[in-house]
């Protein structure tokens, strides 16, 4: 089921995970937080329970599969609920969610949003460890984790796939690390979440997508490690990180392992990795993958970095120009100018002819001819003699 949202309304679907703790309906002292633990009145009471984020990406050709592991820790002597907002790529398709509590691994299920929320609220009230993942926007997700036991550690692992962006033969992998402040238009309408922005008439969930902004030079409550296993299938001619220092190991033809050099860096900017595979020739790659379902393959065809004129498939071009009386003056002069540029910029292997029409049809050649300097000169002389006055020759 798709987790996209309809406008600013409720999400169509949400991931839900539940681990029974055996405490039944015992009343719990739950603290809420967005990157922090706060009490029911919204007052911060402790540091964010998100302890560490580990990102591992496998790039195969132009498709990437990413696993994000987030480790939570409850430093208090009471159960807490952690509620925080984090970014993912807008084109990401989340396909898996697993929660590990002690030795137990619980696999998430996707439910309609209202149903998932109802189950979450009931499990939280019953004292069970429960997690709820919502897609608030195409690039903003919220994670709620209730009833983390005192001193306990909970690991949430989500997986998604994404097609990489490519422009001018350069591929780009982006892992967002920040949900930046955004414009929240409309009149105030209350506050349902713990963000810095109140809800408005135009953005009724503004308080859910506006996590607190870290002060300059301070951390957002956790550190992050990131590893990218790159198998481009084709030789790498360029590989660079735009905003972070990286280490590149196991580099070989078309493959490389990229890691953040300083894992303790403040996660206050997106990780952007760019690489180029194009050369002066057409490239191709055949990538395979085998699992329990069978064997799959991806065929990659890479155009050359720049196409030389002799590499272009020859074309037969027929240029037609109107020289009737209505074209007299400025119109035909502009048409002749455009036609002249087109004739002069044909590729060497092309063939062409130039036709004109008014009361009848004229032509510069009896049939299409090769694009040679002599033939272009004949066509351009024919073009220069045309005027928008009717008649034909």
13-276 and 310-384 in the same fold: no
Question: Cβ(82)–Cβ(70) under 8 Å?
Answer: no
CA–CA separation, 57 vs 121, rounded Å? 33
CA–CA separation, 33 vs 76, rounded Å? 13
385, with CB counted inside 10 A (0-12, 13-18, 19+), is exposed
Residue 22: predicted pLDDT: 37
Whether 297 shows a pLDDT value over 80: the answer reads: yes
For residue 84, CA distances in Å to 51, 145, 257 come to 13, 9, 30
Structure confidence at residue 30 as a pLDDT band (50, 70, 90): very low
> What DSSP state is assigned to residue 294?
E
- Tens of pLDDT, residue by residue over 299-321, are 887 777 777 777 788 999 999 99
Residue 373: predicted pLDDT: 94
> Among 41-45, 236-240, 336-340, 357-361, where is mean pLDDT lowest?
41-45
- Tens of pLDDT, residue by residue over 241-296, are 888 888 888 766 778 899 888 766 666 678 899 988 867 777 777 888 888 898 98
Structure confidence at residue 116 as a pLDDT band (50, 70, 90): confident
Residue 198: predicted pLDDT: 78
- Tens of pLDDT, residue by residue over 207-248, are 777 766 655 555 555 578 899 999 888 888 888 888 888 888
Cα 256-87-104 angle, rounded to 5 deg: 80
Q: What token pair was written down for 393?
A: 């020759």
Whether 354 shows a pLDDT value over 80: the answer reads: yes
Contacts of 74 (CB under 8 A, 6+ apart): 49, 80, 148, 149, 150, 151, 152
Which pairing describes strands 109-112 and 50-60: parallel, antiparallel, or unpaired? unpaired
196 vs 361, residue with greater confidence: 361
- Per-domain boundaries in the chain: 13-276, 310-384
| CATH code for the structural domain at 13-276 | 2.60.40
Residue 319: predicted pLDDT: 94
**Percent of the chain's residues with pLDDT above 70:** 79
Give the CATH fold of the 310-384 domain.
Answer: Rossmann fold (3.40.50)
Structure confidence at residue 152 as a pLDDT band (50, 70, 90): confident
pTM of the full predicted structure? 0.65
* Chain centre distance of CA 204: 25
Residue 13: predicted pLDDT: 52
């Amino acid at each position: 089921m798709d987790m996209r949202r309809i406008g600013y309304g409720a999400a169509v679907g949400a991931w839900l995970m539940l681990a029974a703790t055996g405490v039944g309906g015992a009343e719990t002292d739950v603290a809420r937080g967005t990157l922090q633990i706060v009490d029911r009145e919204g007052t911060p009471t402790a540091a964010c329970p998100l302890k560490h984020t580990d990102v591992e990406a496998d790039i195969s050709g132009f498709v990437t599969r990413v696993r994000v592991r987030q480790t939570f820790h409850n430093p208090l002597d009471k159960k807490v609920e952690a509620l925080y907002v984090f970014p993912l790529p807008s084109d990401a398709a989340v396909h898996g969610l697993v929660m590990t509590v002690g030795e137990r691994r619980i696999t998430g299920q996707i439910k309609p949003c209202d149903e998932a929320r109802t189950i979450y609220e009931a499990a939280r009230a019953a004292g069970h460890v429960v997690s709820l993942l919502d897609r608030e926007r195409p690039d903003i997700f919220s994670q709620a984790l209730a009833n983390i036991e005192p001193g306990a550690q909970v690991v949430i692992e989500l997986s998604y796939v994404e097609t990489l962006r490519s422009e001018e033969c350069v591929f780009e992998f982006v892992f967002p690390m920040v949900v930046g402040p955004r414009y929240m238009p409309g009149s105030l309408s209350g506050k349902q979440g713990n963000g810095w922005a109140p809800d408005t008439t135009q953005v009724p969930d503004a308080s859910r997508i506006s996590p607190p902004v870290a002060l300059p030079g301070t951390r957002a409550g956790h550190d992050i490690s990131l590893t990218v296993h790159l198998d481009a299938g084709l030789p790498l001619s360029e590989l660079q990180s735009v905003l972070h220092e990286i280490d590149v190991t196991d580099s070989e033809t078309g493959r490389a392992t990229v890691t953040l050099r300083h894992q303790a860096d403040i996660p206050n900017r997106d990780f952007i990795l760019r690489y180029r595979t194009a050369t002066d020739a057409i490239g191709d790659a055949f990538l395979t993958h085998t699992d329990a379902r069978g064997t799959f393959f991806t065929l990659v065809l890479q155009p050359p970095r720049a196409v030389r004129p002799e590499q272009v498939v020859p074309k037969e071009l027929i240029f037609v120009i109107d020289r009737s009386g209505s074209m007299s003056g400025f119109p035909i002069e502009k048409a002749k100018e455009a036609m002249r540029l087109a004739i002069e910029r044909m590729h060497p292997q092309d063939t062409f002819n130039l036709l004109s029409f008014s009361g009848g049809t004229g032509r510069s050649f009896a049939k299409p001819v090769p694009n040679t300097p002599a033939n272009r000169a004949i066509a351009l002389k024919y073009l220069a003699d045309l005027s928008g006055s009717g008649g034909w020759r």
